[in-house]
Amino acid sequence: MNPPCELTAGEALRLMADDRLDSEALAVSCLERIDRLEPAVGAWAHLSPEHLLAQARQADQRRREGQAAGLVLNGIPVGVKDIFDTCDLPTENGTSVDHGRQPATDARVVELLRAAGALIAGKTVTAELAVYAPGKTTNPHDHSRTPGGSSSGSAAAVACSMVPLAIGTQTNGSVIRPASYCGVVGYKPTGGLLARAGILCQAPSLDQVGVFSRRVFDSALLVSALTDRSRLHGDTQPWSPPDLARLHNGSAAPPRLALARTAVWPEASKTTREAILTGITTLGVDIEEIVLPDIAGRAVGCHRTIMLAEMAYHYWHFYDHHHLQISPQLLAMIEEGQAIGLAIYLEARELAAEITDAVEQALAGFDGVLTPATPTPAPRGLASTGSPIFCTLWSLCGVPALSLPLLTGEDDLPLGLQIVAPRGMDSRLLQAAQWLEEAGPTDQS
Amino acid sequence: MNPPCELTAGEALRLMADDRLDSEALAVSCLERIDRLEPAVGAWAHLSPEHLLAQARQADQRRREGQAAGLVLNGIPVGVKDIFDTCDLPTENGTSVDHGRQPATDARVVELLRAAGALIAGKTVTAELAVYAPGKTTNPHDHSRTPGGSSSGSAAAVACSMVPLAIGTQTNGSVIRPASYCGVVGYKPTGGLLARAGILCQAPSLDQVGVFSRRVFDSALLVSALTDRSRLHGDTQPWSPPDLARLHNGSAAPPRLALARTAVWPEASKTTREAILTGITTLGVDIEEIVLPDIAGRAVGCHRTIMLAEMAYHYWHFYDHHHLQISPQLLAMIEEGQAIGLAIYLEARELAAEITDAVEQALAGFDGVLTPATPTPAPRGLASTGSPIFCTLWSLCGVPALSLPLLTGEDDLPLGLQIVAPRGMDSRLLQAAQWLEEAGPTDQS
């Protein structure tokens, strides 16, 4: 029998409900896996085994006392990217500037995790300030390769079954890219569904919370739990959270799928392009190819203007007071952002709304549109976290995006298949992703 | 019997459904009213009686042929602020720069009006570029006074029964203020409910479509018809449109109401303050007073930064190419906006999200929160359109706001009672407003 740490969250919850597993045993199994693999993988920024076990015992007690009803993640360990404030573990944002920083309160989504009965397993490694400069994490499939970033530790920890679930953020490609490289499900729901209070603010027009798991259903379950149903926040709108009942029931009819190569298709390697084009022929359903409107080709420049301008404002104190502790690459980005004028910024914001409008019209009528997640599988080396180029358009538009670990790229490495949909269509997207998870595409290996 | 032009839209629709009124008779009655009052009121920028009558006859034909089912505004004339593009009437934006400008297409909400069977009665006078410099319109209650602005003609036309319905926009106080001064219902739904494609763009973070009518139900009906249920736009989110069934049923229980004086309460005249405080004592329900968080007091400065910065960008070509045709007041505002740097702007955007979050928490739990609509009734003179100071906070937050013509201010002039609610709570707000419309407050005259 496989160790409990390899269970999906859904499986573990069912076993706990049947009294065939307790949270402490799950946590012990996760800690054993961490013990064994952490030296090579380096997924964790902060981890307290005693604290995790204490939370697990509390969850078990709640369950035994009948207090766990309605706690949809009771007893499940979750890795939390080290840019989400946690009141019981440091939050260092991937920078020595914040060394030892201990927040007094939880980020709103961390509060919601605890309210759902989840265990905060620990804080996962993030690239420096959630941008590019890598942390210590390696790719579990090949330690000489990047896990991707910036949610590096969250993707890697889930990939090697240190935890069944983890949370991260995406401003450009920080969920979808590491999910593709590490071979896990990465899901960034519609922007504005999840509250960002208590999370490092990089570029608020673009920053979006996302999740990692090994199965589509688990990601849906986690995002559902992270949705604040009690109220809206200054940065949220009433998007619909995943409809778990629809996912439980499975899908009768195959989803309506399309392929979108997008303007950056030539950036994908020949192997990636072939993996997608061949993969979709094995699905046994018609897949129409859609051509995005020309304006979508301007997304990368538009996104860069907005991201750098907002980052320069929000990270200015790092630049100004902690110059020597910030990577040269990030300093250069902040300088580039600092030079952007208001008119250029507002022009980009206007363009972003136009791109969103045009892209959503193109995506309409499909349950999911397939597109690469990354140009290649995880590149060699740990100095870079790879390219977010296949995520930029979708992050800019705030549309839901999910990377499925269904393809194989160069060197037999995992390669994500990305599926996107118009804003608000998360449930249909997840249902389509779940269908793909079951139906294929057939791996050619 | 009162002339058909004095019917509410709801009444006219019922009579038409019963074959006791046709749209042509309604249009003729509206045109007679316009003929009689327009010389003194000046509500219209563009009006073609023949075109209106032709639309009315088409609506009658649709009805007679059974083609009007589902067309919720079939045969109802609607005044359209002259900043909404119309393919069959000029759109001059209240500036000589756009003299004779004839758009090729309709604004999205105008398309939706036509799709609902409504008649475009004509284009109503707007202040210069939807800001402050007044057009020709006078207040129907006293022609020596301002009708308010910038949706001046829409409010005035509805007030004197030239049309039962009109549409406008609010970036600061351009719906609520003229509604208060003219003694009509003005309703600005949650920002992001209605699409702004094809409308003059002043400050996209703040620009919001709103409506005018003589009864709460009519405003709800109109906003419902203006909601694009077919798709989202780059500038819309899935807010719920008014639930007309709830309004049809009326409210069993009195609404949960509160009073919020807000930080600008001292700007209201003694008579206005007394009218509200006395008025609410006559309602026969408990009205709790809520105190908004301190941060809400920063709304006016925050709003000004965002509005002027965005306006300077969007109106730059007017400044640059048409200097002599723009009012000195607007030129000065554009210059002030032009001097705002990106960091100051982003700081204001961040503050706006914080204010929204804090204010919505304060409003939560009430169906509607009462507050002044304007400091006084319509001021004397036509050189200014009055003060938007009681609208600024709510426009900044994008919360729904409605002005009810229930109070009487200085010189026995109409004075609006404003009711606000958290974003998305439009249906509860409308139900509360409808209850107030029926229950009082008792006019003291």
Beta strands in A125-265, from DSSP E residues, in sequence order: 165-170, 185-188, 208-213, 257-260
Q: Output the pLDDT for position A251.
A: 63
Mind listing the pLDDT tens digit for each residue in A206-218?
999 999 999 999 9
**How sure is the predictor about A442, in pLDDT bands with cuts at 50, 70 and 90?**
low
pLDDT value of position B26: 98
pLDDT band at A444 (very low <50, low <70, confident <90, very high): very low
Burial class (CB in 10 A: 0-12, 13-18, 19+), A8: buried
Cβ count within 10 A of residue B113 = 25
Beta strands in A83-207 (DSSP E): 119-124, 165-170, 185-188
According to the model, what pLDDT value does residue B252 have? 67
Cite the DSSP H helix spans in A170-327. 176-182, 216-226, 244-248, 270-281, 299-314, 316-321
pLDDT of residue B4: 98
Name residue A167's beta-bridge partners: A80, A211
**Mean pLDDT, rounded, for B144-163:** 98
Residue B357 Cα, gap to closest chain A Cα (Å): 4
Closest chain B residue to A190, measured at CA: B237
Select the residue of B232, B346, B355 nearest A310 (Cβ to Cβ): B346
Least confident span in A72-81, A247-256, B344-353: A247-256
Mutating which of B232, B298, B399 best tests the A interface, going by the most A Cβ atoms within 10 A? B232
A395-A398-A400 Cα angle (round to 5): 90
CB contact under 8 A, B345 and A342: yes
- Place A445 in a pLDDT band, splitting at 50, 70 and 90: very low
Closest-CA residue of A relative to B356 is A234
Q: In the prediction, which pLDDT does A253 show? A: 83
The secondary element (H helix, E strand) that includes residue B257 is strand B257-260
Percent of chain B whose predicted confidence (pLDDT) is above 90: 95
Tens digits of residue pLDDT in B173-189: 999 999 999 999 999 99
- A341 → closest Cβ in B342, B347, B356: B342
Q: From CA B28, how far away is CA B41, in angstroms rounded?
A: 19
**Which of A234, A342, A423 shows the shortest C-beta gap to B341?**
A342
The phi-psi region of residue B398 (left if phi > 0; otherwise alpha if psi is between -120 and 50; otherwise beta) is left
**Token pair for residue B260?**
């919020």
* Order of strands, sheet of B287-290, starting from the edge strand that comes earlier in the sequence: B44-46, B119-124, B77-81, B165-170, B208-213, B185-188, B401-408, B414-420, B368-372, B257-260, B287-290
Cα A5 from Cα A376, distance rounded (Å): 29
Taken in order of first residue, the domains within chain A and their CATH numbers are 18-295+353-439 (3.90.1300.10)
Is the separation of the CB atoms in A72 and A220 below 8 Å? no
**Cβ contact (<8 Å) for B238 and A233?**
no
When pLDDT is averaged across residues A175-203 and rounded to a whole number, the result is: 98
Nearest CB to A238; choose among B201, B346, B424: B424
pLDDT at B55 exceeding the cut of 70 = yes
Predicted confidence band at B164 (pLDDT cuts at 50, 70, 90)? very high
All residues of chain B having their beta carbon less than 8 Å from the beta carbon of residue A398 are none
Q: Is the pLDDT of residue B302 over 70?
A: yes
- CB-CB contact of B59 with B74 (8 Å): yes
Q: Which helix (H) or strand (E) holds B280?
A: helix B270-281
The number of C-alpha atoms within 13 Å of B145 and in the hemisphere containing its C-beta is: 21
* pLDDT tens string A15-73: 999 999 999 999 999 999 999 999 999 999 999 999 999 999 999 999 999 999 999 99
Confidence category of residue A439, pLDDT binned at 50, 70, 90? confident
CB contact under 8 A, A232 and B346: no
Read off the pLDDT of each residue in A147-156 and give the average, rounded to a whole number: 98
Interface of B with A in 221-250 (CB under 8 A): 231-235, 237-240
| C-alpha dihedral (B166, B245, B16, B3), degrees to nearest 10 | -50
Please judge whether B192 and A240 are an interchain contact, meaning their C-beta atoms are less than 8 angstroms apart: no
Cα A432 to Cα A253, A368, A435, A436, B155: the distances in Å are 10, 6, 5, 6, 49
B322 CB neighbour count, 10 Å cutoff: 14
Residues 6+ apart with CB under 8 A from B168: B81, B124, B126, B150, B151, B154, B155, B174, B175, B178, B186, B209, B210, B211, B212
Contact across the interface for B361 and A424, Cβ inside 8 Å = no
Q: How confident is residue B248, by pLDDT bands cut at 50, 70 and 90? A: confident
Q: Which of A121, A134, A230, A239 is nearest to A188 (CA)?
A: A239
Query: Best residue in B237, B310, B393 to probe A by mutation, most A CBs within 10 Å?
Result: B237
Q: Is the ipTM of this complex over 0.90?
A: yes
Among A402, A390, A404, A398, residue whose Cα is nearest residue A422: A398
Q: Which of residues 338-397 of B touch A (CB under 8 A)?
A: 340-343, 345-347, 349-350, 352-358, 360-361, 364
Radius of gyration of chain A (CA): 20
Interchain pair B240, A240: CB under 8 A: no
CA atoms within 13 A on the CB side of A246: 18
* Interior angle at CA B350, CA B176 and CA B232, nearest 5: 60
Judged by DSSP in three states, A292 sits in coil
Which residue among A237, A341, A342 sits closest to B237, beta carbon to beta carbon?
A: A237
**Cis peptide leading into B242, omega within 30 of 0?**
no
Q: Mark A179-194 as b/e (b = at least 16 C-beta within 10 Å).
A: bbbbbbbbbbbbbbbb
* DSSP character at residue B173: S
Contacts of A354 in chain B (CB under 8 A): 234
Give B350's contacts in chain A (Cβ within 8 Å).
Answer: 201, 204
Contact A258/A366 with Cβ under 8 angstroms? yes
Q: Report the pLDDT averaged over residues A389-407.
A: 98
Tens-place pLDDT, residues A285-302: 899 999 999 999 999 999
Mutating which of B227, B229, B311, B346 best tests the A interface, going by the most A Cβ atoms within 10 A?
A: B346
Task: Test B349 with A232 for CB contact under 8 angstroms.
Answer: no
Cα separation of B51 and B31, whole Å?
A: 11
Asked if A316's CB is within 8 angstroms of B343's CB, the reply is: yes
If you average pLDDT over residues A325-335, what whole number do you get? 97
Distance from CA of B222 to the nearest CA of A (A): 22
Question: What whole-number distance in Å separates Cα of residue B109 and Cα of residue B234?
Answer: 14
- Asked if B196 is an interface residue toward chain A (Cβ–Cβ < 8 A), one would say no
Q: How far apart (Å, rounded) are the C-alpha atoms in residues B286 and A37?
A: 64
- pLDDT digits 0-9 by tens, B100-123: 999 999 999 999 999 999 999 999
φ, ψ for residue A103, nearest 5 deg: -65, 150
Cα B236–Cα B238–Cα B242 angle in degrees, nearest 5: 105
C-beta of residue B126 within 8 angstroms of C-beta of residue B44: no
Residue B69 identity? A
Per the prediction, chain A carries an average pLDDT of: 96
Whether the upstream peptide bond of residue A240 has omega within 30° of 0, thus cis, is: no
State yes or no: pLDDT of B442 exceeds 70.
no
Over residues A189-199, mean pLDDT: 98
Q: What is the pLDDT of residues A79-88, one digit of tens each?
A: 999 999 999 9
Report how far residue A414's alpha carbon sits from residue A156's, in angstroms, rounded to the nearest whole number: 13
Residue A164 pLDDT > 90, yes or no? yes
Per-residue pLDDT, A79: 98
Interface membership of A40 toward B (CB under 8 Å): no
**In contact, A108 and A84? CB cutoff 8 Å:** no
- State the sign of the Cα–Cα–Cα–Cα dihedral A289, A293, A299, A301: positive
Residue A112 corresponds to which amino acid? Answer: L
Q: Is A257 helix (H, G, I), strand (E, B) or coil?
A: strand
Dump pLDDT digits (tens) for A367-394. Answer: 999 999 999 999 999 999 999 999 999 9
CA distance B141 to chain A (A): 40
- A-chain CB neighbours of B346 within 8 Å are 309-310, 313-314
Contact (CB, 8 A) for A81 and A154: yes
Q: Give phi and psi for B100, each to the nearest 5.
A: 75, 5
